[in-house]
Amino acid sequence: MSPQPELPAPAPSLTEVESHGVDRIPDAERTASPLDLFRLAFGGANTFSTCVLGAFPILFGLSFWQGLAATLLGVVAGALILCPMAVFGPVNGTNNAVSSSAHLGVHGRVVGSFLSLLTAVAFFSISVWSSGDALVGGAHRLFGLDRGNLSYVVAYALFAGLVLAVCVYGFRFMLFVNKIAVPSASLLFLIGAVAFAGDFDPSYAGVFTDSADAATQSLFWPSFIGAALIVLSNPVSFGAFLGDWSRYIPASTPRRRVIGAAFLSQIATLLPFVFGLATASIIATKVPEYVDPAAPDFVGGLLAISPGWYFLPVCLLALIGGMATGTTALYGTGLDFSSVFPRLTRVQATLLVGALSIAFIFVGRFALDLVQSISTFATMIITCTTPWMVVMMLGYWTRRGWYDPEALQVFNRRQRGGRYWFAHGWNWRGMTAWWVAAVIGVLFTNIPGQFVGPLGDLAGGVDISLPLSLAVAAVLFLALLRLFPEPRAVYGPDGPRLALTAEVPVPPISGPGALSVPSATLRA
């Protein structure tokens, strides 16, 4: 009698705390689908924080139509950059930082962990700040709640606590929240379109009109590109996190479906982006003090122009959408932090990262006034994250999508050796391509009125940091793979694509729980 195929394990209950860290998800437990990936990625951006980013074209002085063009450019370009990062989860059954061991080395994978930590703190903070401000502002208009610091402290604490609780329960509970959040937030945005339809005027002209002086006109392209890059930062920010959710998708799922789900999830974010853009143009017309670039307050402006009946939907949108963004940002970082510090379980690491993030939120809001500079912080993170993504994607392409799951887990198990050990755990080819491109990107950054790098003015004030860092990372990484070939053992049976190889021995995996395997057997 032929053996029966292994049946998928029954899905755990919503209230069962997830036990998996970044270890490979067993095939029997991979019950998620590309639609689930769409829900999580779209739900994480279908919120107030995305509306805030969508308002930046207006803050930069663009007209509505100019802002719409910048938004479309940023979303589409960002979606194209992001979507290939979804394939690592199904292939390796783990998160993207662990998968990066194959291209940056067993120890070099901490780069991805560090980038995901910074990204999570930044976007979790934006989520809590914007949602908390909306809740307090809406309660003030509805019930006369005092808008003093105490009200904000309570709102931030309660909201952050709810997000942290969902992250502790894990993937299944987070997926449940997003199944509710995605259609609910989308409906509330559509209701908002009705609420503001009477005040919306697509002919809003911005500052770059025919009558503007030459100095103002010269700032158009820097402002347009800067706005597009801030929009683009939203989809690219998911690069380190897609594997957190796609690792539950079966490995047999066609790659095009996984990539398509990631791409469409970002195209769908045009809903909150355009909502933010359109309402910001109304705010700029009716209450322009709220879009003063020196002290912008999109949430306050939105409440100022909202009809009374939309205050409650605003509060619901802040709560529902903010929960989706906060959980998608915090969950993956807690997951990855537990692999960097294996003494911590996933739950303990999530609680620790959550506590640090909440402390950052309060310090930034009440002591350092970081709210105005958070977009700069996020943009700088993306400038450093994108070259890392380029190395990952080109690595996947040159390896023909072939990986050794056991060798990827060496760092997490506190072992040594394996196919991805390279030079004492570091693959200097990928590391060099990443840090050189990231440094160049920072040097050429030019965000009008916020941050200008030492070389930021060389392109006439236009921010070329992202395309330049993308190009440098791609060219340098591929050149290093040709000039300094990697071991043949890191490639699959079909060999490399474009890259060269070197016949060198690979050290066997040694350490806790390792089997003694001669290095000769590790030659592909």
> Residues 52, 231: contact at Cβ < 8 Å?
no
pLDDT at position 297 is 75
**Residue 346: is its pLDDT beyond 90?**
no
> Residues 472, 437: contact at Cβ < 8 Å?
yes
pLDDT at position 81 is 94
In the chain, the domains with their CATH numbers are 34-502 (1.10.4160.10)
pLDDT tens digit string along 305-335? 988 888 888 778 877 777 767 776 676 666 6
pLDDT tens digit string along 275-304? 999 999 999 999 988 887 666 778 788 888
Residue 476's alpha-carbon distances to 106, 336, 459, 468, 523, in angstroms, are 21, 28, 22, 12, 26
3-state secondary structure of 342: coil
pLDDT at position 338 is 66
pLDDT at position 52 is 83
Residue 502 dihedral angles phi and psi, to the nearest 5°:
-125, 135
> Residues 323, 166: contact at Cβ < 8 Å?
yes
pTM of this structure? 0.85
**Residue 255: is its pLDDT beyond 80?**
yes
> Residues 58, 284: contact at Cβ < 8 Å?
yes
Sequence-distant (≥ 6) Cβ neighbours of residue 2 within 8 angstroms: none
pLDDT tens digit string along 68-90? 999 999 999 999 999 999 999 99
Query: Among the ranges 1-5, 149-153, 349-353, 478-482, which has the highest mean pLDDT value?
Result: 478-482
Looking at 68-72, 366-370, 475-479, which range is the least confident one? Answer: 366-370
pLDDT at position 513 is 65
pLDDT at position 369 is 53
Across residues 30-56, what is the average pLDDT? 87
**Residue 7: is its pLDDT beyond 60?**
no
pLDDT tens digit string along 420-434? 999 999 999 999 999
**Residue 241: is its pLDDT beyond 50?**
yes
**Residue 522: is its pLDDT beyond 50?**
no
Q: Is 362 or 510 the better-scoring residue by pLDDT?
A: 510
pLDDT tens digit string along 190-227? 999 999 999 999 999 999 988 888 888 888 988 898 88
**Residue 516: is its pLDDT beyond 50?**
no
125: left (phi over 0), alpha (psi -120 to 50) or beta: alpha
pLDDT at position 518 is 42
pLDDT tens digit string along 484-506? 999 999 999 999 998 999 999 88
Q: Structure tokens of 468?
A: 């330049």
pLDDT tens digit string along 93-115? 998 989 999 999 999 998 988 88
**Residue 234: is its pLDDT beyond 70?**
yes
